[in-house]
């Protein structure tokens, strides 16, 4: 897989992915503050935390699951390294109904492998990750088009500023 999709996902989901050690405490604090005043819940989980949940745990929100998620996050950060965490994340996350794996998502949506995604296609895939059963990368609606444009621009910044050095 080329770095186009990981860059877009870093831009969309976890800008400090290469800098933190599994937890982005400032993102958690922002999510907590937001959630105290809003009905729309915002998550503060890193890609590492999401990988731990997707691979080892269940989706239900509970303190038990969050505790186990923290434990597994520490383990995968210590044992796998960032490149492997990103690879496992991109291949374990659901990209649409019954679509798992970055290559399957790229082929289903754009007819190319994950190694051949354009920056625009990668940004569209990253844009649907919060709600892959609701949003579409192929023939996206206005919200996904707008979101993917922002992600595409941010992915360029990720590349130019070296925020992706851990996935090279």
pLDDT in tens, 19-39: 999 999 887 788 777 767 887
Euclidean distance between CA atoms 47 and 60, whole angstroms: 17
Q: What is the mean pLDDT of residues 152-157?
A: 97
What per-residue confidence (pLDDT) applies to 61?
85
- Coil/strand/helix, residue 138: coil
Euclidean distance between CA atoms 141 and 135, whole angstroms: 8
Q: How far is CA 126 from the centre of its chain?
A: 7
Euclidean distance between CA atoms 1 and 116, whole angstroms: 8
What per-residue confidence (pLDDT) applies to 69?
96
Q: Which domain holds residue 26?
A: 4-167
pLDDT digits (tens, 9 = 90+) for 46-80: 999 999 999 999 988 899 999 999 999 999 999 99
Within the chain, how many helices (H) and strands (E) appear? 8, 2
> How many structural domains comprise the chain?
1
Spell out the residues 6+ positions from residue 139 whose beta carbon is closer than 8 angstroms to its own: none
Closest to 158 in 3D by CA, of 123, 128, 114: 123
Closest to 54 in 3D by CA, of 91, 13, 99, 83: 91
Residue 97 sits in a domain whose CATH number is 1.10.3810.10
pLDDT digits (tens, 9 = 90+) for 96-117: 999 999 999 999 999 999 999 9
């Amino acid at each position: 897989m080329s770095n186009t999709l990981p860059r877009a996902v870093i831009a969309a989901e976890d800008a400090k992915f290469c800098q933190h050690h599994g937890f982005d405490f400032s993102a958690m604090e922002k999510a907590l503050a937001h959630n105290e005043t809003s009905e729309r819940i915002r998550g503060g989980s890193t890609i590492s935390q999401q990988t731990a949940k997707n691979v080892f745990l269940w989706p239900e929100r509970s303190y038990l699951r969050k505790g186990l998620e923290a434990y597994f996050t520490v383990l995968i950060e210590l044992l796998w390294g960032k490149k492997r965490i990103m690879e496992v994340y991109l291949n374990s996350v659901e990209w649409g109904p019954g679509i798992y794996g970055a290559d399957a998502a790229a082929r289903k949506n754009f007819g190319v492998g994950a190694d051949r995604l354009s920056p625009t296609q990668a940004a569209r895939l990253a844009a649907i990750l919060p709600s892959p059963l609701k949003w579409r990368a192929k023939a996206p609606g206005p919200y996904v088009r707008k979101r993917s444009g922002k992600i595409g621009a941010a992915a360029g910044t990720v590349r130019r500023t070296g925020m992706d050095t851990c996935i090279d």
